[in-house]
Amino acid sequence: MYNHTYVNNNGLLTFSRPLPESLPYYFPKNGTEDFIAPLWTDLDDFGMGKYSYQQYTNGSVLTRATQDINRYFPQRGFTASWVFVATWDFVQTRNTSVFNLHSAPAITFQVVLISGGGFSFILMNYGDCAVINDYVEAGFDTINSTDYYLIHYATNGSYIPNLKNTTNVNVPGRWAFLVNSGSENVIGLRVRFSSFSDLTQHGNIPIVLQQIKQELVKYGLPSSIELKLRKLQKITP
């Protein structure tokens, strides 16, 4: 639980202190702070880009957030009670003429924090993102990296124009994550394999479970999720 949210001009949200550093840490950092990095890089610090943030506790924004979360994470009966929206609009690194003339795509992205009923979610939205030549990172990390997700990390930003086409919820340019469920939940998962031999050797089981976990995390489950094999049954057609 935090009392402050810091919207840094480098595309980073922090909660214990401002962090103006433009060189991102690679996630997982296993550090002592929580980070939300919709796009952490060396963004405009001349004051030309538009940085905005707003907190909502009622109104149409909560209604829209409730609808979105229930679409991405169904069967939870979620109702949003608090939403925080931070937007970095038409921010660009170094190239002042691009901003002044609007002559090329700049960098536009947004992060939305949503909570209610003991659940917390992160939405990351990407618009046009121009190529830059600096380290870039997108994702989030928690204290001791108990939960983290790395959307993208690179020593240059040649890939970031494609962010507006990427997603884990079938909405181009949007990523959604459940980052706190309020309590520990046990979820049953039944998986059918095309080849039973994948699990006949005990050493293969951790590998297969890790592959399943990677797919589940890709679709929004926290990286701290643990998978255990309770029952193995071979079904003959």
pLDDT one-digit tens code per residue, 80-127: 999 999 999 877 645 566 666 666 667 899 999 999 988 999 999 999
The string of DSSP codes covering 119-157 is: EEEEEEEEEEE--BSS-EEEEEE-GGGSSEEEEEEESSB
Q: What percent of the chain has pLDDT over 90?
A: 48
End-to-end CA distance of the chain: 52
* Residue position matching structure tokens 């980073």: 12
Say what the pTM is.
Answer: 0.75
**pLDDT class of 167 with cuts at 50, 70, 90:** very high
Question: Angle 174-86-175 (CA atoms, 0-180°, nearest 5)?
Answer: 15
- Looking at mean pLDDT, say which of 4-8, 184-188, 218-222 comes out highest: 4-8
How far apart (Å, rounded) are the C-alpha atoms in residues 105 and 112? Answer: 22
